[in-house]
Amino acid sequence: MEQKKIDHDFSLRAVPLSNRNGFWRMLMVMLGFTFFSASMIAGGTLGLGLSMTQFIWIVLAGNLILGVYTGALAYISAKTGLSTHLLTRYAFGEKGSYVSSFLLSATQIGWFGVGVAMFAVPVQKVTGIDTSVLIILFGVLMTATAFFGMKALTILSFIAVPAIIVLGGYSAFGAVNDIGGVDALMQHKPTEALGVAAALTIGVGSFISGGTLTPDFTRFAKSPKVGVSTTVIAFLIGNSLMFAFGAIGAIVTGQSDIAEVMFMQGLIIPAIIVLGLNIWTTNDNAVYAASLGISNITKIKKNKVVIVNGIIGTILAMWLYNNFTGFLTTLGSVLPPIGAILIADYFIVRRGKYPAFETMTFKAVNWNAMAAWVIGAGAAKFLPGIPPLNGLIGAAAVYVVLSVIAAKSAEAKLNLNMEKVTES
């Protein structure tokens, strides 16, 4: 009976080393995480607004930035075994972490709903099955696999990643041949050119909010080396591949999603497989991460929360799908500063050392972190330049400065008290 009570997803404690995964398992999970249809849409926008040479450099630069950001988070989580939501207790305090967990979880439930609709709508066009029926069916199936946690995510990724690469690659090569080969593709000229700042904003902003939840998966890595390497590789290869699929599709056919391109090529069954697996892996990761966040707030184990989150995301799927642009814009400015504060807290303020989670007594709210978060989000929203980077740098810098001021103030107060004791 006791065995049934064990939380095999370790939603409220560190993952023991005996339950960690090696390089290949983690790589498949992280590649599945980065195989996201929204990245193809972003890739299509970049492909139409840049020359192919510019596109290659922007994608590499954007994914390098994402790789550094998510790689730093992967290091912290692999070192500590803690999810994003438990890590935020160190920087934000226990009650403060509830605020970030709620926003992170709410947005991931939103992504889940968007993904369900993104699959149901094109399948309805092909099959004629009612969209509502498809949304319910896909919502239930995606929630079911997320219910079984990291093991199910790993199995799904081992199936999905090779299938997406092979079938998507076949379609992309076919599209390139249709326009006259690689040389013709490289000669593509944009009709309305994108500036560097705007292009990098799209390249980085398309996945930086989701990347903030990297620790939810890399806490299962056997070592920081495995966590960091698989994360960076996944962004440099997986996310770049999604951008390339989107760019090729947009240039050749006017469609960013490789599944839509495959529909136009008459590859109906492969298109449904690729679209389904692509969205399924990301949706499982989204509802899984959201459930860890709600577990942090409610102290209810993750697998129970998954069911509720899956139901909410499924019910709201079409509304989220129809309001996608505003939703994505909000995510891009609000979430990344959370990750920046975690990185600054661990590497700069705490100098790479966190006390063991089970020994910690966390303060209720660290108002320095809350202030830095608000300022970082404001910098992303209102300052000129590249909004995601503004948010990251602004939040981290403000947090470090406020932490130093707070430490010096506490030291001065302690010295003053000691002097009073000595005088008395």
Domain assignments of the chain as residue spans, ordered by start: 15-423
Q: Give the helix/strand (H/E) hosting 140.
A: helix 131-147
Per CATH, domain 15-423 is 1.10.4160.10: yes
pLDDT band at 87 (very low <50, low <70, confident <90, very high): very high
Q: What is the mean pLDDT of residues 192-217?
A: 89
Which residue in 26, 351, 376, 6 sits closest to 215, CA to CA? 26
Identity of the highest mean pLDDT range in 240-244, 273-277, 417-421: 240-244
Q: What percent of the chain has pLDDT over 70?
A: 94
Q: Is 413's pLDDT higher than 90?
A: no
Per-residue pLDDT, 3: 43
Mean pLDDT in residue range 133-148 = 92
* Mean pLDDT computed over 253-263: 79
* pLDDT for residue 405: 94
What's the pLDDT at 357?
A: 93
SS (H, E, C) 44-81: HHHHHHCCHHHHHHHHHHHHHHHHHHHHHHHHHHHHHC
Mean of the per-residue pLDDT values for the chain? Answer: 89
pLDDT of residue 1: 38
Buried/exposed code over 46-71 (b: 16+ C-beta within 10 A; e: otherwise): bbbbbebebbbebbeebbbbbbebbb
DSSP 17: G
pLDDT of residue 328 exceeding 60, the answer is no
pLDDT reported for residue 86: 95
* Res 332 pLDDT > 70: no
Mean pLDDT of 266-293: 88
Q: What is the pLDDT of residues 342-369, one digit of tens each?
A: 999 999 999 999 999 999 999 999 999 9
Least confident among 177-191, 257-271, 331-345: 257-271
Q: How far apart are CA 208 and CA 256, in angstroms?
A: 20
What's the whole-number mean pLDDT along residues 44-70? 93
User: How much is the pLDDT for 129?
Assistant: 92
pLDDT of residue 25: 94
Contacts of 329 (CB under 8 A, 6+ apart): none
Residue at 340: amino acid letter: A
Name the more confident of 172 and 327.
Answer: 172
Quick one: 169 exposed, middle or buried, by C-beta within 10 A (0-12, 13-18, 19+)? middle
CA atoms of 24 and 344, how far apart (whole Å)? 29
Query: pLDDT tens for residues 291-305?
Result: 999 999 998 888 889
CB 75 within 8 A of CB 224: yes
Reduced to 3 states, what is the DSSP secondary structure of residue 21? strand
Dihedral of the CA atoms 257, 261, 266, 269 (nearest 10)?
A: -20
Asked if the model's pLDDT at residue 423 lies above 70, the reply is no
CA dist 152 and 25 (Å) reads: 12
The two three-digit tokens of residue 30, written as one number:
């992280």
Tokens 């400015």 belong to: 333
Q: What is the pLDDT of residue 42?
A: 86
Rg (CA), the chain: 22
CB 394 within 8 A of CB 380: yes
Is the separation of the CB atoms in 66 and 212 below 8 Å? no
Contact 92, 235 (CB under 8 A): no
CA 256 – CA 40 distance, rounded (Å)? 6
| pLDDT score, position 268 | 86
Helix (H) or strand (E) holding 289: helix 268-298
**CB of 243 within 8 A of CB of 99?**
no
The pTM of this model reads 0.91
Question: Residue 254 has what pLDDT?
Answer: 83
Among candidate residues 59, 95, 58, 88, the one with its CA nearest the CA of residue 73 = 88
